[in-house]
Structure 1
Amino acid sequence: MSGKVIRKSLLFVVSALMLALFIFPLLMIFLNSLKPRLDIVRDPLSLPETLSFGNYKEAFETMNFLHALSNSVIVTVLSVALIIVFAAMLAYFLVRWKWKLNNYILMVLVSSMIIPFQAVMIPFVSIYGDLNMLNSKWWLAYFYLGFGLAMATFMFHGFVKGVPKELEEAALIDGAGKLRVFAQVVFPILKPISTTLAILDVLWIWNDFLLPSLVLIGENDRTLPLSTFYFFGKYTSDYGVAMAALVLSMIPVIFFYLFMQKQIIRGVVEGAVK
């Protein structure tokens, strides 16, 4: 057996093991969502004796799934759109306007990325609570803009440097203003990195629990992760319903990936080439 065949075989075995490690927790969540609570406690690794979808019905009604889904969609879409638009504009400004202050602004943005959210969590709640800016999904989108702007600007900054100035100069000669040049010439060229950032931010914001738990106090504004959390009580937990709620929360992201699969792969590949 040649060395090339051995390498391919080893690569296949390692890939299969990695796939199994990734799939196993998801499979266990799905299988346990079809079992009663006592069966889960008795043997969580066993297959369900009968397929029962009662947990899904109870989870759907208890967590008010459609309302929580709409909250998550609003927060995620609005936050990602704000981050991409404002980060692209800020990166374009930092690259094209040769001010000495711009280098310091970029350094401050990059430095802020190393500060964990837990370090500012208490003053964050204290300050914005006094300003009555909590308990609103609209303010939550604004907070995501603040916490996501630094990394997005840093990633856009390198891409904007690769945009030929000649394209902008030609548009300016044709009579376009600076804002129109950015919107119709520069921003479309940034589509690969915009797609990559959209993927990262959608996964981050959709699955985030900590920040919404601090901001969204009322029941009407809860996102899907918050609604799922309330199936776990202090003294008891209905694991079957909770697992069903987790599966319901994953379904929108799975559909997002299937719908955007070509764009996701193209964006990641073109971003890597850049």
Structure 2
Amino acid sequence: MGNKYTSKTFIVEILAVLLGLVFLVPFYYVLSNSLKSFAEILSNTSALPTTIQFQNFVNAFNQMNYLKVLSNSLIITVISNAVLVIFCSMAAYMLVRTKKKISSIIFMAFVAAMVIPFQSIMIPLVKVAGNLNLLNSIWGIVIMYLGFGSGMTIFLYHGFIKGIPVELEEAAIIDGCSRLGVFWRIVFPLLKPITVTVVILNSLWIWNDFLLPSLVLQDPELRTIPLATFFFFGQYTKQWDLALAALVISIIPLLIFFFAMQKHIVKGITSGSIK
């Protein structure tokens, strides 16, 4: 017997729609003001544009060197995700399958690292990175993202791997498969749902990150999209029309990626919890 549609359900749906509209308000302001002239933005930020200014997008595209900063963001995001998936999945696998107290201690250390605020360690981080010649380097910032993202990534993999039957691995070992072969041939393919979830969550974080790239990537040729957008704001001039247009064209690649992959987020998380 199906659930009845009650007045309580109707009220919950109305509240959910209203909450959704509240979350859409910032997007309305960004999109509508990106189509206005600078003078019109200053006169009325809430109204719809009287004259649509598509030239804002052309000027923002050229001034921020969009293709270059887009490629920088893509390279950093893709490489960082690959490194996080490879190293953290292997680490989580060994922490789950190694039944020793030290494994629990190491896992708790990774989990505890998730609550450390970045602002408390950013100054020592820059000093250490300078001594190791990691500043102004794509590989340098990738290594840092590996360090900062390992806690959450290992935590997600750890919970998922615990639900994988050990008998599958034992059967593969009996057939002559090595420990490394067991992981890559048996375990890792089963991690696809949580791997997609990890990639999506880390991509959203790395793509939108501003603070770490601003500290590490001082070379203009290495600027990411958030850094390029920030430079529309100078000491005496704030180019709101170009900055908002830059924000719109900057989030388009991530929105396409997110909407294409969003169904895997719930699937990955629920698969891990059910198992």
TM-fit CA distance, 1:199: 1.5
Aligned position for 2:78? 77
Which amino acid in 2 is paired with 1:213? S
TM-score, normalization by structure 1: 0.95
Q: Percent identity?
A: 48
TM-fit CA distance, 1:206: 0.7
TM-fit CA distance, 1:223: 0.5
Aligned position for 2:17? 16
Structure 1: gaps spanning 5 or more residues: none
User: Is 1:217 the equivalent of 2:218?
Assistant: yes
Which amino acid in 1 is paired with 2:42? V
Aligned position for 2:109? 108
User: Is 1:172 the equivalent of 2:183?
Assistant: no
How far, CA to CA, are the matches of 2:48 and 2:113 in structure 1?
A: 47
Aligned position for 1:254? 255
TM-score, normalization by structure 2: 0.94
**Could you say if the C-alpha distance between residues 158 and 267 of structure 1 is closer, same or farther in structure 2, counting changes exceeding 3 Å?**
closer
Contact persistence 2:213–2:227 (CA under 8 A): yes
How far, CA to CA, are the matches of 1:269 and 1:161 in structure 2?
A: 14
**What does 1:1-274 align with in structure 2 at a 5 Å threshold?**
4-274=5-275
Structure 2: gaps spanning 5 or more residues: none
Which amino acid in 2 is paired with 1:48? P
Which amino acid in 2 is paired with 1:256? F
How far, CA to CA, are the matches of 1:161 and 1:13 in structure 2?
A: 39
How far, CA to CA, are the matches of 1:270 and 1:27 in structure 2?
A: 35
How far, CA to CA, are the matches of 1:256 and 1:111 in structure 2?
A: 30
Q: Helix, strand or coil for the counterpart of 1:231?
A: coil
Which amino acid in 2 is paired with 1:159? F
Q: Helix, strand or coil for the counterpart of 2:133?
A: coil
Contact persistence 1:196–1:271 (CA under 8 A): no
Q: Could you say what the CA RMSD is over the residues aligned between the two structures, in angstroms? A: 1.5
Contact persistence 2:135–2:217 (CA under 8 A): yes
Bigger Cα displacement from structure 2, 7-16 vs 119-128: 7-16
Q: Helix, strand or coil for the counterpart of 1:106?
A: helix
Q: Helix, strand or coil for the counterpart of 2:229?
A: helix
How far, CA to CA, are the matches of 2:267 and 2:155 in structure 1?
A: 21
Contact persistence 2:200–2:261 (CA under 8 A): no
**Could you say if the C-alpha distance between residues 162 and 154 of structure 1 is closer, same or farther in structure 2, counting changes exceeding 3 Å?**
same
How far, CA to CA, are the matches of 1:103 and 1:12 in structure 2?
A: 43
Contact persistence 2:96–2:162 (CA under 8 A): yes
TM-fit CA distance, 1:272: 4.3
